[in-house]
Amino acid sequence: MLDTTRRATVYRMVMEKHVCPYGLKTKDLLEREGFTVDDHWLTTREETDAFKAEHDVKTTPQTFIGGQRIGGYDDLRRHLGKEVKDPNATSYTPVVAVFAMTALMALAASYAAYGTPLTLRAGEWFIAFSMCVLAILKLQDVETFSSMFLGYDLLARRWVRYAYAYPFCEALAGVLMVAGALNWLSIPVALFIGTVGAASVIKAVYVDKREIKCACVGGSGSVPLGFVSLTENLMMVGMAVWVLVMHH
């Protein structure tokens, strides 16, 4: 049962063609924390601008508790003792999400094909699916990816077009390895880009001791260059060697 003595007032944009997502998050957070919310809608641009001018604020939503202005959504989270994400902080979450999903996909594919999730093919598919998904993330914005990639890749620094070709090469090798087709093409591609990538990461991180972000999940990622990046490249090398040994 909600404690009705805890009240909060929220001013948020609710217009015909726009409903502020942070306003919805603010209202939801307050209600989950046991507040009774007086929900005030700002339904026009003029009304919103007038509210901002009156309270000398630049954004909405704005929350008031006990007559005191708390601020926007992040300010409310801080006020309630909740974590506020630093947009500049590094995070392994994107990589964990990718590998967790591709592992589940591989197990599901193995079960569908062989009646059991635990097969050698599931291991192969895990790496191949991971290559495909990581390639998709890079291909979303090749220009941004290439700029970040040029910060540490040894070959790309000598031949800039390689930075643009890399996501397509990774995608090609991944798709062919999923299908188990054209090994004569997938093996050298994966072996080449994986070896160059591993050497580049080792030099940048473990030799030069640089602290930079990895382009492994695309140019907008915040994953630090290091173990994860090295793992991605070694997985490709390992997969290429495995396919070479097992299928030849």
Whether the pLDDT of residue 3 is over 70: the answer is no
Task: Tokens for 125, please give them.
Answer: 């598919």
Tell me how far apart the alpha carbons of residues 157 and 114 are, in angstroms, rounded to a whole number: 44
* Domain boundaries of the chain, sorted by first residue: 7-79, 93-246
| Ranges 122-136, 155-169, 176-190, 224-238: which has the least confidence | 224-238
Taking only the tens place, the pLDDT of each residue in 25-39 is 999 999 999 999 999
Tell me how far apart the alpha carbons of residues 69 and 75 are, in angstroms, rounded to a whole number: 10
- What CATH superfamily is the domain 7-79? Glutaredoxin (3.40.30.10)
Whether the pLDDT of residue 174 is over 90: the answer is yes
Taking only the tens place, the pLDDT of each residue in 100-158 is 999 999 999 999 999 999 999 999 999 999 999 999 999 999 999 999 899 999 999 99
Tell me how far apart the alpha carbons of residues 159 and 169 are, in angstroms, rounded to a whole number: 15
Q: Is the Cα torsion angle 84, 87, 91, 96 positive or negative in sign? A: positive
Residues 6+ apart with CB under 8 A from 155: 162, 196, 200
Q: Is the Cα torsion angle 216, 217, 223, 228 positive or negative in sign? A: negative
Tell me how far apart the alpha carbons of residues 146 and 61 are, in angstroms, rounded to a whole number: 37
Read off the pTM.
Answer: 0.81
Whether the pLDDT of residue 220 is over 70: the answer is no
Q: Is the Cα torsion angle 91, 70, 31, 2 positive or negative in sign? A: positive
Residue 248 pLDDT: 63
Match 């492994």 to its residue by tokens: 216
Taking only the tens place, the pLDDT of each residue in 180-212 is 999 999 999 999 999 999 999 999 989 998 887
Taking only the tens place, the pLDDT of each residue in 52-106 is 999 999 999 999 999 899 999 999 999 999 999 877 777 778 888 999 999 999 9
Whether the pLDDT of residue 2 is over 60: the answer is no
Residues 6+ apart with CB under 8 A from 29: 73, 76, 77, 80, 82
